[in-house]
Amino acid sequence: MASFEDFKLNRQLLNAIEEAGYSTPTEIQQKAITPILAGQDVMGIAQTGTGKTAAFVLPLLMKLKYAQGQDPRALILSPTRELAMQIEENVRTFSTYLDLRTIVLYGGLGPKTQKEQLAQGCDIIVATPGRFLDLYLEGDINLKSLKFLVMDEADKMMDMGFIGKIHRILEVVPRKRQNLLFSATMSELVRKISGDFLAFPTVIEVTEQATPAQTVSQSLYEVPNLKTKLNLLQYLLLDSESFHRIIVFCKTKNVADNVFHFLERKYGDEHVRVIHANKGQNTRINSINAFKEGFIRILVATDVAARGLDVSNVSHVFNFDVPIVVEDYVHRIGRTGRAYNEGDAITFCNPAEFYYIEKIEKLIRQEIPRKEFPANVFVENTGFEEKQDIAREIDAQKRKENPDFKGAFHEKKHAHKSNNRQKVAGKKRSGVKTKKGRS
């Protein structure tokens, strides 16, 4: 396919595509748009940042054409509110010259405004499963006219425990409909569940599952502890020209807050934001928008932002912590190197995190290149508590792989008891008094 005109899209869509700055369809778009236009069920697997959203939004808009009635004719489900907002933004961009009404539904704020919007009528609903079901069960959504059901990032929905809600939604939507399922990774569980969702689907796998984008350069630093990770991060960020728009991913809200406060002291709160589940909805939206518009240089985030955050020209993604859900690695690093741009993904790995690195490398079928630790970065001593936490984590990993493994702490304790018994026995043989009396 040389251009979007080859898909026989209408002039309104082509004008919106051109104004959005797109000229050449990506591989997933080339392979998915035609069968979707033909009415087939599609299962699409493509790495993050390759244009999956447009691959289903464009043919969906082409088939809906114009506003019709009060009830929704298309439902797009996403696992997170951030991704739902991103999809809705794409729909609005491409439907600039179309008379179609779109509503986005997600939790985290009161439903009153969303109910009012639904009452005014819509053609497309973009929603998270929980809020959609809530409003449906309260009688605010009529599904009798639904013709299209799209599930984006299906594997993440399963990871987040949405399987029950998905089955409930499948029970209430009309049987006669076109189904589309997209993701960057596709677990066996999702393949089994898709059997309930898709009817003889066209499977489009433009890359092997969980393959990072070729435009992303990956690297890994071996770092002994948290304080040294902060020192290394600060050192790398000294190059403000190269590291101009950065996302720092952390595994917990607590670590994200600590990293944010560290960077805030170094660069000022006008250059750094943090988003995680404990942040209010408006705070998260404002932080993401400020990052998108280039007002802030650094966004610190948990995996709540790993998917659906479509920001142009992110120069670097830092895995400050190695993700425990190994599939999230692909989604994290997919925040850079998007739409044919090049980007860098840098991972910091302490001794307890190599367990997950091995699993990530097996998943992506390639080794992450190791980088030599910079001589100018001060290596802190690992504190007692952190050292204990790392040791316990390594024990837990070994026990997971081998249930018979007793653990280093058990062995030390056992060795200590054994040494005590040997000492007592030695004293008995030499005629020395023990607590239980004389020998």
Name the residue among 325, 394, 400, 336 with its Cα closest to residue 363.
Answer: 325
- Per-residue pLDDT, averaged over 133-153, amounts to 95
Which residue segments constitute the domains of the chain, with CATH numbers given? 4-205 (3.40.50.300), 216-398 (3.40.50.300)
pLDDT at 191 over 80: no
pLDDT attached to residue 365: 87
Instruction: Report percent pLDDT > 70 for the chain.
Output: 87
Q: How much is the pTM?
A: 0.63
pLDDT tens-place string over residues 366-376: 999 999 999 99
**Given this model, what pLDDT does residue 88 score?**
94
What is the pLDDT, as a whole number, of residue 409? Answer: 53
Strand partners, 42: 180, 202
Residue 49 has pLDDT above 70, yes or no: no
Bin 113: left if φ > 0, else alpha if -120 < ψ < 50, else beta: alpha
Closest CA relative to residue 39, chosen from 58, 71, 63, 65: 63
> In percent, how much of the chain has pLDDT > 90?
56
**Averaged confidence pLDDT in the chain:** 86
Answer yes or no: is pLDDT of 27 > 90. no
pLDDT digits (tens, 9 = 90+) for 377-431: 999 999 999 999 999 999 999 988 887 777 665 555 555 555 555 555 555 555 5
- The whole-angstrom separation of Cα 319 and Cα 312 is 19
Checking if the pLDDT of 18 tops 60, the result is: yes
Look-up of token digits 């393959």: 211
pLDDT band (50, 70, 90) for residue 197? confident
Average pLDDT, stretch 337-343?
75
Region 295-319 average pLDDT: 82
pLDDT digits (tens, 9 = 90+) for 262-287: 999 999 889 999 998 788 777 888 88
pLDDT at 431: 58
Contact 254, 323 (CB under 8 A): no
